[in-house]
Structure 1
Amino acid sequence: MRKSAAKTMLLGFGAAGAGLLAAMTPALAGGYTAPVVEPVVAAPAPVVVAGRDWTGFYAGGQIGYGEASVDGLSDDASGAFGGVHAGYLHDFGNWVLGGELAYSGADISLDTPDASVDSMLLAKLKVGADMGQWLLYGTAGAGHYEASVAGTDYSDTGYFAGLGADYALNDSWTVGAEVLRHWADDFDGTGVDGDMTTLGMRASFRF
């Protein structure tokens, strides 16, 4: 009986071994399978748009049109002006601060009475927003105005405020437009108050 039991155990182990070998055969048949590695795609570098630096000196010319009204007169004087300007700007990044002097000869006149604004010298403070190629700004300051009435010359100091915009054509040249409102009270001691609106076109060279 002992031989029969031993034989039975050997047959059982043999069957179990054959079953285990049969189960492992499909896994071993394919050999080693390498893991799948997903490709790494590098993100494109961000595009940096270079800003424009408005810092520096500039000079140029302006032409325009103006209308002036004087207390006690029903008609307004109107006409053209033209001249030169020079200034300096400092760009702080988003904001620009600067100053400018502008002189214009003018023929802003009316026929009755014979009166005209003959020239204006403006000292400007400019504060603007750096918009890349665009500079949008506000300006204010003092102006010295010369006028004539019936052959008599008068001159006095007033003040002005307005808005403007410049566009950079390239690193050297800019063009722009500016609208200003001018006031003069008791002009040259005459007791007459006046005001004027001017619209100018500008071109400037940056050094």
Structure 2
Amino acid sequence: MKFSHIALPALLIGGFAAPALAGNLEATPVEPVIATPAPVPAAPLGRDWTGPSAGIQLGYGGFNTDESSEEYEEKGVYGARLNYDHDFGSWVGGAGMQYDRTDADLGNAGDLDGIFRLGARAGYDAGNTLIYGTGGYAKAFTDGGTLDAGDSDGYYVGLGTETFVSDNWTLGTELTYNEFKDFDDSDLELDATQLNVSLNYRF
């Protein structure tokens, strides 16, 4: 069999097949890919202030009696605090106690050994920070002195902040004004202004 007898039919077949194949080689339209934006992470929720806390505090105070203008003492203080708070959403309310130890010289009234406070606080929940007002009962303890003044009931008012620095730890600042007029010596009055910084563990 001659080569031409094979080649000619093959070429004829190839000639008819080529257009068909060429039609199949046209580019397939590509659907455009639309990028979907990544979801935006939700803003972190505010802290839950509900629960007890315990802390230590350091501060500085000015202590003044009405005995004379010279009987004014500035002294460092240190102590401990306990609180329980309830978070109502935008607002937080709670109660607590604290004791500050010092040895401020009150002149004829002797030395101020310490101040105990028991009261309430309420404030605004700003997420990681609580901004609050506080107030309640206070008691001053004195020792020595020619007046033998003893102890006195009183009251305190103040402003403070508390801020989360980790999941359980907070740093606080508190400014309080304390007043006492119930010493054994009825003529003695004491006012004390303190600024404390606290480190607290929230359970």
TM-score between both structures, scaled by the size of structure 1: 0.74
Cα deviations across residues 50-73 of structure 1 (Å, max 9, x unaligned)? Answer: 111111111011111111111131
**Deviation of 1:103 (Å):** 1.3
2:163 to 167, 183, 187: 167
Unaligned stretches of 5+ residues in structure 1: 1-38
Q: CA–CA distance in 2 between the matches of 1:120 and 1:61?
A: 15
- Is 1:145 the counterpart of 2:140? The answer is yes
Q: CA–CA distance in 2 between the matches of 1:103 and 1:40?
A: 61
Letter in 1 for 2:135: A
Unaligned stretches of 5+ residues in structure 2: 1-33
* TM alignment of 1:6-45, pairs within 5 A: none
Q: CA–CA distance in 2 between the matches of 1:77 and 1:116?
A: 10
Is the Cα contact below 8 Å between 1:95 and 1:127 reproduced in 2? yes
Letter in 2 for 1:50: L
Q: Select the structure of larger CA radius of gyration.
A: 1
Secondary structure of the corresponding residue to residue 52 of structure 1 = coil
Q: CA–CA distance in 1 between the matches of 2:190 and 2:74?
A: 13
Aligned residues between the structures:
172
Mean alpha-carbon deviation: is it higher for 112-121 or for 152-161? 112-121
* TM alignment of 1:63-78, pairs within 5 A: 63-75=58-70, 76-78=72-74
Partner of 1:177: 173
1:89 to 85, 93, 114: 85
TM-score between both structures, scaled by the size of structure 2: 0.75
Q: CA–CA distance in 2 between the matches of 1:56 and 1:72?
A: 43
Q: What is the RMSD of the two structures over their aligned residues, measured on CA atoms?
A: 2.4
Percent identity between the aligned chains? Answer: 33
Partner of 1:118: 113
Q: CA–CA distance in 2 between the matches of 1:194 and 1:154?
A: 12
**Deviation of 1:188 (Å):** 2.8
